[in-house]
Amino acid sequence: MKKNIGNYNAAFPTPIVVVGAMTDGRPNWFEVAWCGIGDRDLVTLSVEESHETCRGIFADKRLSISLCDEALLPRADYVGIVSGKKVDKSGVFAWTPGELGAPIPDDAPVSMECELVDTYKQHGMCLLICRVRNTYVDEQYLDEKQKVDYSRLKPVLFEPRFRYLLTGKDLGPCIEPGRALQKHLTENQ
């Protein structure tokens, strides 16, 4: 039996990402737990616009969004709990500027260099709509088709009980489970 728990948003877990932008000539970083996909080349971030990193994003319209693996988690969590208005977070990650100039953490397994294309404000939050321009991937996480192999990468996820989860189990290709069920249903009609 299912229980109605109200208007609880259960569209979780979401990937933990480290967002970087230049503020006052140096990189600033923060962790974002509410990251989503807007389209093929669009990433959405739901943030409080008061973050220091957001100041750089709004001024520059350039940012990096880096997936977090287990090795990166302690630093990702750290940049999420300290304020860039009070602490200089520029040295937390060694970094290289991307082709657009956004700071890319050197040891992030996957980083997307993005441009801010739109914002949407509601209920005290700001939805950043970001267009991916460049994606930088540590080669050990690429498959034979030069696509990211998430079963090797094992990105860290956030779930709303304020817990981190680790991914990594490959359940097989999409469409095959549906086709198997379709075949079964067709044969048993």
pLDDT digits (tens, 9 = 90+) for 6-24: 998 888 999 999 999 999 9
Residue 9 lies in a domain: no
Q: Is the peptide bond before 15 cis (omega within 30 degrees of 0)?
A: no
What is the total count of domains within the chain? 1
- Is residue 1 included in any domain, yes or no? no
What confidence score (pLDDT) does residue 94 get?
98
Q: Is residue 146 part of a domain?
A: yes
CATH number of the domain within which 132 lies: 2.30.110.10
| Domain of residue 118, residue span | 14-187
User: What's the confidence (pLDDT) of residue 138?
Assistant: 97
Mean pLDDT of 38-66: 94
- HSE (side-chain half, CA atoms, 13 Å) at 100: 23
Give the whole-number percent of the chain exceeding pLDDT 90. Answer: 85
Single-letter amino acid code for the residue at 66:
S
pLDDT tens track for 122-171: 888 999 999 999 999 999 999 999 999 999 999 999 998 899 999 978 88
Residue 8 within any structural domain of the chain: no
pLDDT exceeds 90 at position 112: yes
More confident residue, 84 or 18: 18
> pTM for the complete prediction?
0.92
Is 137 inside any structural domain? Answer: yes
Residue 96 in domain: yes
Query: What pLDDT score does 16 carry?
Result: 95
